[in-house]
């Protein structure tokens, strides 16, 4: 599909925005440009004339600058809630240490931020650190990762100061937006966006690309919000088939506080839809596959993180305990659900319900997916985006004692995805089975200590086993703990770029190229940039 626009608008907009904004193109693999402080250059240093030209062009497309402040951040209640909190890291080396930490976390209602074979991160009040140490073996030492959680939270919300330009999809004109696709992307991905903005933005994309994009609601959340999906696909003009096709599903935002997962899902959506008819591999992929993007599977929880509690993880559904709301959507799916039986406390961050699919949003996703398959669609791949710890995880999540039938293929592709992520930005992603806790051990061990978090009821297991999605992965995005769930917004584009590279690799693999499509190969300039940044 080729789009046209008035030349008088297209030329100044394209030139000015290309000169003044950092790269965020969806039509190729671009290196992330870093300054000395390790952050992307978003200042847009240009000569005065070019700055004037840019500002004039932006006004043509987006209208006059907004004079009202951006969405306000939660105020004193947020500062009060987390003012004494810290995030600490434990280097767990054996199952006894993991078991002791798991019991302490349950007893003290600790918030486990991450657990990998290398570390376990925990958020708690700094006054409780001494009490926690009394419950742990003396060999289990910790280091402080985030000394001021409240400050880190505050920094993730867009500034309340009046800014020159604010992305407002409701005021955007689809015809004018076509004149500067790159400019639209750059503005949108400068900050994390609210649920209302994301929804309006998805509608705008559907209006801009009606021949390849279709927006649908897969159902309502517990609080009545639509869970929106955008299906992207293009029929080959020589293909008379009109029915459902092979489908790749990409979800984000199962956990409300994992904002980077939602932003990355929207970045992938934007990049894929704007690359059609511009990049051969993406065009070929969309002619043979549908890609369904669900950026915010947990809209109630996501909205709650913007309005009330930035670190809210679960849904907002009422449980059997009045003062402990919410379900962990990644422990609410029906396959191997019994594996979370010991996590029956509604106050637990990992509480998946008292029965399978009790969580409304998980149930709606499963019902929608089953209806798709009954109508002829085939889910061939599922990417469930989360944060953090930079891992590519494959089934099964609920147990390590049973290997998935195609484990060799799952592992092979997972290694390829991790390599694609690394080639884009230099960031290393590890590969593992999703069942692995902080310490690898056999499930059959007698009187085995509890794990930090059981893996039953996981979305990747359900799609893999129940819907035969042959390639099902959970990708835990940036970072490895410096910011955790509170990743600064200047990581949105770099994280999106590296994940887009992984999606391209997956596309190559599914198209039969086994990840060796020429368009995927890094350019000599990219290789030089990666080597320079590694020094």
Contact 158, 191 (CB under 8 A): yes
Question: What does the pLDDT look like over 440-488, one tens digit per residue?
Answer: 554 444 455 667 777 899 999 999 999 999 999 999 999 999 999 999 9
How far is Cα 498 from Cα 40, in angstroms, rounded to an integer?
14
Residue 237 to residue 260: CA distance in whole angstroms:
37
275-295: average pLDDT: 95
pLDDT classification of 272: cutoffs 50, 70, 90: very high
| Model pLDDT for residues 298-328, shown as the tens digit of each residue | 999 999 999 999 999 999 999 999 999 999 9
pLDDT surpassing 50 at residue 343: yes
What number is the average pLDDT over the span 333-346? 78
Chain centroid to CA 103: 29
If you average pLDDT over residues 244-251, what whole number do you get? 92
pLDDT value, residue 302: 98
Q: What pLDDT is stored for residue 511 in this prediction? A: 94
* pLDDT tops 80 at residue 59: no
What is the average per-residue pLDDT within 225-232? 98
State pLDDT tens for residues 367-415.
Answer: 999 999 999 999 999 999 999 999 999 999 999 999 999 999 999 999 9
Instruction: Give me the pLDDT at residue 242, please.
Output: 62
Mean pLDDT of the chain: 81
CA distance 231 to 275: 15
Q: What is the dihedral of CA 289, 290, 291, 294, to 10 degrees?
A: -160
Nearest to 434 by CA among 397, 475, 399: 397
Whole-structure pTM value: 0.81
| CB environment 54-86: b (16+ within 10 A), e (fewer) | beebbebbbeeebeeebbebbeeebeebbeebb
Tell me the C-alpha distance between 449 and 252, whole Å.
Answer: 32
Strand partners, 115: 120
Pairing of strands 290-294, 378-387: unpaired
Q: How far apart are CA 296 and CA 309, in angstroms?
A: 17
Q: What is the mean pLDDT of residues 160-171?
A: 52
Residue 66 pLDDT greater than 70, yes or no: no
φ/ψ (deg, to 5) at 15: -65, -50
pLDDT digits (tens, 9 = 90+) for 6-46: 333 343 334 333 333 333 333 333 333 323 333 334 334 44
Burial of 18 (0-12, 13-18, 19+ CB in 10 A): middle
| Residue 459, Cβ density class (10 Å: 0-12 exposed, 13-18 middle, ≥19 buried) | buried
With 0-12 CB in 10 A as exposed, 13-18 as middle and 19+ as buried, what is 246? Answer: middle
Say whether pLDDT at 61 is over 90.
no
Eight-class DSSP state of 454: -
């Amino acid at each position: 599909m080729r789009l046209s626009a008035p030349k008088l608008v297209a030329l100044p907009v394209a030139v000015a925005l290309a000169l003044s904004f950092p790269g965020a193109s969806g039509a190729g693999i671009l290196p992330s440009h870093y300054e000395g402080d390790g952050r992307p250059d978003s200042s847009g240093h240009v000569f005065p004339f070019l700055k004037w030209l840019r500002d004039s062009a932006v006004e043509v497309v987006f209208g006059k600058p907004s004079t009202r402040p951006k969405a306000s951040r939660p105020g004193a209640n947020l500062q009060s809630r987390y003012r004494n909190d810290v995030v600490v890291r434990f280097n767990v080396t054996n199952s006894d240490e993991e078991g002791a930490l798991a019991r302490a976390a349950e007893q003290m209602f600790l918030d486990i931020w991450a657990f990998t074979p290398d570390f376990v991160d925990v958020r708690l009040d700094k006054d409780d650190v001494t009490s926690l140490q009394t419950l742990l073996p003396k060999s289990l030492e910790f280091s402080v990762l985030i000394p001021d959680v409240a400050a880190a939270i505050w920094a993730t919300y867009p500034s309340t100061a009046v800014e020159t330009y604010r992305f407002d999809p409701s005021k955007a004109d689809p015809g004018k937006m076509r004149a500067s696709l790159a400019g639209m992307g750059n503005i949108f991905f400068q900050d994390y966006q609210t649920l209302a903005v994301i929804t309006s933005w998805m509608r705008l994309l559907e209006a801009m690309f009606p021949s390849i994009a279709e927006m649908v609601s897969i159902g309502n959340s517990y609080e009545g919000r639509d869970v929106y999906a955008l299906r992207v696909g293009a029929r080959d003009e020589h293909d008379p088939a009109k029915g459902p096709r092979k489908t790749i599903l990409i979800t984000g935002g199962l956990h409300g506080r994992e904002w980077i997962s939602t932003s990355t899902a929207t970045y992938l959506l934007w990049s894929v839809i704007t690359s059609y008819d511009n990049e051969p591999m993406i065009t070929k992929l969309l002619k043979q596959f549908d890609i369904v993007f669900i950026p915010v599977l947990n809209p109630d929880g996501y909205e709650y993180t913007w309005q009330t509690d930035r670190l809210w993880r679960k849904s907002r559904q009422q449980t059997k305990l009045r003062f402990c709301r919410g379900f962990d959507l990644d422990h609410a799916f029906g396959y191997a659900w019994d594996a979370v039986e010991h996590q029956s406390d509604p106050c637990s961050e990992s509480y998946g319900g008292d029965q399978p699919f009790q969580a409304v949003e998980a149930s709606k996703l499963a019902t929608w997916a089953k209806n798709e398959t009954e109508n002829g669609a085939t889910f061939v791949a599922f990417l469930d985006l989360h944060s953090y710890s930079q891992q590519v995880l494959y089934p099964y999540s609920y147990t390590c004692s049973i290997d998935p039938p195609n484990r060799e293929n799952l592992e092979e592709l997972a290694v390829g995805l991790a390599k694609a992520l690394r080639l884009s930005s230099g960031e290393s992603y590890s590969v593992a089975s999703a069942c692995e806790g902080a310490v690898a051990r056999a499930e059959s061990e007698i009187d085995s200590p509890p794990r930090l978090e059981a893996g039953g009821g996981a979305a990747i297991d359900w799609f893999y086993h129940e819907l035969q999605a042959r390639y099902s992965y959970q990708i835990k995005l940036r970072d490895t703990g410096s910011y955790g769930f509170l990743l600064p917004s200047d990581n949105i584009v770099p994280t999106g770029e590296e994940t887009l590279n992984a999606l391209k690799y997956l596309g190559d693999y599914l198209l039969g190229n086994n990840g060796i499509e020429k368009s995927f190969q890094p350019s000599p300039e990219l290789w030089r940039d990666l080597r320079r940044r590694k020094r």
